[in-house]
Homo-oligomer: A and B are copies of this chain.
Amino acid sequence: EDLKKQEDAKSLDPYSSDPERHPVLRVKCKKPFNAEPPPEILGDSYITPHVLFFKRNHLSVPQVDPASYRLNVEGFPGGALSLSLEDLKTRFPKHTIIATMQCAGNRRSEMNKVKRVNGLNWGITAIGNAKWSGVRLRDVLLAAGFGPEVAKWARHVHFEGLDKDVTGTAYGTSIPINKAISEEGDVLLAYEMNGEDIPSDHGFPVRVVVPGVVGARSVKWLGRIVISAEESSSHWQQHDYKGFSPGTDWKKVDPKSAPAIQELPVQSAITVPADGAVIDRSNETLTVKGYAWSGGGREVVRVDVSLDGGKTWQVAQLRSGDEGQPTEPSPPPGRAWAWKLWELTAPLPPEAEELEIICKAVDNSYNVQPDTIPPIWNLRGLLSNAWHRVKVKVTED
């Protein structure tokens, strides 16, 4: 009887079987569920607990039975490979990486303030860092028949989720073959997040993790992998998740003129203090905290912080681990998938009644963040990585 009721509800509302979520999350959209954590909590842990990790769902969360789950690997001359969850766990070596995942729309709200853009109004926390375990995509592609003959024509690997819209279209996307097949690319088919089964909001039982690349390519509830000579023809590959010039509007946008976003540019943000915070002048010092990350496995090598709106800069301390805990070992070159947390404690500037605090990061290709948002503004509000600025008031008490 209960089951019957549930099924009725589901046929009316595909979101009725979505999981419970942590009440501290800031909800951007309920159906599909999209939410991000408060900045000061995100910045507190080097590894983001899954309940606090931003949720970015394009559709309702599919209910997948792990016993009957099958991953289909297609497009190979020898035919398709069908793998159960058990196959994935027992037939391939387990591989673990720490990797930051960032939504293409992280920090969109700042772009929205410049001029209206299209998309969920994300703050600065559509980003998180987790420990992902699973099998290497490379190993599965080799098992499916990847070799010198296939390498001659294969250029892309497509991923399709088990999340489907009312017309039956699954969320789908693709990545270039060199990222997919390279040992150093570290692309995972992950079945664990932070040492536990992947939670349903994050892709149970199996999701893709493409480290160094925009979150949109890390397909959750993975159902199908296809090797191909072409990019995915999906909406999300061909029309969405591309960057355009600030002068491009919806009338003149030509999606073919821009490449699909893969590697993301260098990014950082201030998680503490919050914008609008009030600081007592009796504090002799001010502590500023945040995160910094760059795409493509490029390591963040420096974060500069200004307390005077960009006139002078101080260098923050970087951390690859929690305070007082042992730090994660340095990654091999080109494989810095994880963010760094940073912190600066500096004398509170005397006399100032308001401070404009700014951070900007530098990666090991010495790429930097742009100063301002308007020149990188784009109609979808993607790739918002200008300097992050917060204003705080200093009061006598």
Q: Does A194 contact B (CB under 8 A)?
A: no
A266 in complex: contacting residue of B258, B259, B360, B367, CB < 8 Å: B367
A314 and B247 contact, Cβ closer than 8 Å, known pairs A178-B334, A375-B304: yes
Q: Does A126 contact B (CB under 8 A)?
A: no
Q: Does A216 contact B (CB under 8 A)?
A: no
A304 to B379, CA, bound (A): 15
Q: Does A302 contact B (CB under 8 A)?
A: yes
Residues 206-250 of A at the B interface (beta carbon under 8 Å): 243, 245-248
Q: Which residues of B contact A262 (CB under 8 A)?
A: 364-365
Q: Does A265 contact B (CB under 8 A)?
A: yes
A375 in complex: contacting residue of B178, B315, B360, CB < 8 Å: B360
Q: Does A172 contact B (CB under 8 A)?
A: no
Whether A365 contacts B304 by the Cβ 8 Å rule is no
Whether B371 contacts A310 by the Cβ 8 Å rule is no
Q: B-facing mask of A321-354, CB < 8 A → 1, else 0?
A: 0000000000011100000000000000000000
Q: Does A369 contact B (CB under 8 A)?
A: yes
Q: Which residues of B contact A298 (CB under 8 A)?
A: 263
Q: Which residues of B contact A314 (CB under 8 A)?
A: 245, 247
Q: Does A264 contact B (CB under 8 A)?
A: yes
A365 to B265, CA, bound (A): 6
A358 to B252, CA, bound (A): 22
Q: Does A153 contact B (CB under 8 A)?
A: no
Identify the interface centre among A304, A366, A383: most chain B CB within 10 Å of its CB: A366
Q: Does A368 contact B (CB under 8 A)?
A: yes
A-B contact pairs, 26 of them (CB 8 A): A178-B334, A245-B302, A245-B304, A245-B315, A246-B304, A246-B313, A247-B313, A247-B314, A247-B315, A261-B366, A262-B364, A263-B298, A263-B365, A263-B366, A264-B366, A265-B365, A265-B366, A265-B367, A265-B368, A295-B365, A296-B365, A313-B375, A366-B383, A368-B375, A369-B370, A370-B370
Q: Does A176 contact B (CB under 8 A)?
A: yes
Whether B259 contacts A301 by the Cβ 8 Å rule is yes
A296 to B299, CA, bound (A): 13
Q: Does A372 contact B (CB under 8 A)?
A: yes
A161 to B94, CA, bound (A): 45
Q: Which residues of B contact A176 (CB under 8 A)?
A: 333
Q: Which residues of B contact A178 (CB under 8 A)?
A: 184, 332-334
A295 to B332, CA, bound (A): 19
Whether B366 contacts A367 by the Cβ 8 Å rule is no
Q: Does A362 contact B (CB under 8 A)?
A: yes
A392 to B365, CA, bound (A): 33
**Sample of 11 further A-B pairs with CB below 8 A, known A243-B362, A243-B366, A247-B312:** A178-B184, A178-B334, A245-B302, A245-B315, A246-B304, A258-B302, A262-B364, A265-B367, A304-B375, A368-B375, A371-B372
Q: Does A376 contact B (CB under 8 A)?
A: yes
Measured CB to CB, the closest approach of chain B to A161, in angstroms, equals 24
Whether A313 contacts B245 by the Cβ 8 Å rule is yes
A184 to B178, CA, bound (A): 10
